Chain A
Amino acid sequence: MAASVERATRASRIAGAVSVVTVLTLGTLPAWADSSTLRLFVEFACLLALAQMWNLLAGYGGLVSVGQQGYLGIGGYALVVLADLGGLDPFACVPIAGLVAALVAVPVSKLVFRLHGGYFAIGTWVVAESFRLIVSNATIVGGGTGTSLTSMREFPKAMRESLTFWIALVVAVGAVAGVYWLLRSRHGLALTAIRDGERAAASQGVNIAATKFWVYLVAAFGCGIVGALYFLMNLRVSPDAAFGVSWTAFVIFIVVIGGIGTIEGPIIGTLLFFVLRETLADFGTWYLIVLGLVAVVVMVRFPRGLWGYVAARFDLHLFPVRRRLADRRT
């Protein structure tokens, strides 16, 4: 009898195959879908990527941030500055926008990491609001009313839409695969240990401060990319749209309802969010009231969310990040 460490399951192999087929099928979408479908998918990709980043921060790193819209806004405005004012290719600006956001996150982390728990949450919000107010006072990017992305005018509509769509697909897949890869690596082991018990993790030699710092940077990078991507589609940027706390509000609902601390949770949550939004859009504020109440009830009664319930009930893990000891009789 020999013991071995199992890292994949039959379900995860099937999920992997289904994911590849789904992504390849989605890749052909610009050839046959209409503009509104493409736009809807870009929005979906944005929220999915944001949700994965927030889940990495809050679900694994224990960093509950209410200020990730700050990095989204920086990404959006980095696009405006680099492409419109700097003359760079707007599509090439997407990864650069992520780097800019990560760069800004370095000094910011030194400040907000002085706060803990709930006060960290509100501190990050203050930083995001400060960014919004600074940009609102900057007349070169249109001040409080914002500006249009003029550098996108030189591209024909079909090309613009297809390219934006493919970038969105890469961003969504990259966010899910990136988090999956990160969590399966040594760093993921350290993160999971921190999630389960900070002091115990530290006693095993995990460098808590460094790990949290890197997670914060990765999340800022991801949010910056999403910011650039979203406004590549929207073509108009304003401080209120770019730095609005509603981004984080939606992401929190998605992650909480889907299941925090899992990779599947944010995917299920984003799907559910779009289904709810498309069906309840006519009800205006009532839709947000329902969404808020559902989040409260889920957090109080089912703190592990939809996917947490499924995973515990059926031992189903589509993206397994754990190492399990399996008996293998030879």
Chain B
Amino acid sequence: MIGWIDTVLQGVMLGGLYALFAMGLALMFGVMRLVNIAHGDFIVLAAFLAIGVALGVQITPALIVLVVLPVMLAVGYGLQRGVLNRTLGKDILPPLLVTFGLSIVIQNVLLEAFSADSRSLSAGGIETQSLRIAGDLAVGWLPLLTLVAALALASGLEWLFGRTRLGRAFRATSDDPEAAALQGIDHRHVYALATAIAFGVVTVAGLFLAMRTTVAPSDGPAYLLYAFEAVIIGGLGSFWGTLVGGLVLGVAQGIGFRFDPGWGILVGHLVFLAVLLVRPQGLFPRTRD
């Protein structure tokens, strides 16, 4: 019994990381109806930027964020303004194919710069410490911190979208870019801001990923799939839904891994497909796509 509680608990912790992966994807889809195939690769890119900084100078992960975050925000804004805005329109092909091309480029640039080896980021010791709950039950501080970050980002993004001027602009452009333009909203700028914020979330996800485990240049697509599954399981239009979707996926994988190490990810995929079969709108849908 205690083994099962532990499995679910660790699954929830893993789900916190998946929720972080998923929120950036959900944000870009929510505002622009844009599906970023390179999403996972940008998570890996952020992780490698952090690892690169840590190789260059000896600073704590908290300081690394201050270096990597502005870079990723600028990349996000520039990417949307310079490239992705040109691909948006009635046709769904251009944004998909452009981000697919970017995915291949990022993977191979990272391969050229860092080789195929897996690397990780030192978290200054907390990655090995854990919090004892009861008896043999314990959670690591780092996974717990990841879950807290996911909770904080979900509530932060809900607040941003629901309560702020910028959030209103996001929702207005999402509903009707032309009507929003009539109210003086420049949708190109708003889209670029949305992508910049999404890339901020991606950076947080990448840093926690690199502290938790090793990353390799070719890992991006797997993370894209986890992020996507969390978004669909949770339902479109709500960051709380996305968070729950991440947790469900984490628990599903955890239970799968418990049965057989080769099954963990497969069980996650199968739970996603089962949700698609019985509840295609997701668990907590707010919008229809």
Binding site for B on A (CB under 8 A): 58, 62, 64, 66, 111, 114-119, 121-123, 125-127, 129-130, 133-134, 136-137, 144, 245, 249, 252-253, 256, 260, 285-286, 288-289, 291-293, 295-296, 299-300, 303
The 9 A-B pairs with the shortest beta carbon distances in the complex, nearest first, are: A118-B35, A292-B104, A292-B105, A295-B101, A133-B266, A296-B101, A114-B280, A285-B108, A117-B92
A118-B35, A300-B87 given; A130·B108 CB < 8 A: no
Give every chain A residue within 8 A of B83 (Cβ-Cβ): 296, 300
B37 A292 Cβ-Cβ under 8 A: no
B binding-site residues for A, Cβ under 8 Å = 29, 33-35, 37, 83, 86-87, 91-98, 100-105, 107-109, 111-112, 221, 224-225, 228-229, 232, 260, 262-263, 265-266, 269-270, 272-273, 276-277, 280, 289
- When the two chains form their complex, are residues B289 and A116 in contact, meaning their CB atoms are under 8 A apart? yes
Known: A116-B289, A296-B83. A64 touches B269 (CB 8 A): no
Whether the Cβ atoms of A286 and B96 lie closer than 8 Å is no
Q: Closest Cβ of chain B: how far from A121's Cβ, in Å?
A: 6
Closest to A296 in B: B101
CB contacts (< 8 Å) of B102 on chain A: these are: 292, 296
Interface pair A295/B97, CB less than 8 Å apart: yes
Given contacts A64-B92, A292-B105, A299-B87, contact A119 B97 (CB under 8 A): no
| Alpha-carbon distance A115/B96, docked complex (angstroms) | 15
User: Which residue of chain A has its CB nearest to the CB of B83?
Assistant: A300
> How far in angstroms is the closest Cβ of chain B from A299?
5
- Write the chain A residue with the least CB distance to B228: A122
> How far, in whole Å, are A58 and B96 apart by their CA atoms in the complex?
11
Given contact pairs A121-B96, A252-B97, A285-B111, a sample of 4 additional A-B residue pairs in the complex whose CB atoms are under 8 Å apart: A64-B92, A64-B96, A119-B228, A133-B269
When A136-B262, A293-B105 are in contact, do A130 and B97 touch as well, CB less than 8 Å? no
Chain A residues with Cβ under 8 A from B277's Cβ?
111
Contact B105 A121, beta carbon cutoff 8 Å: no
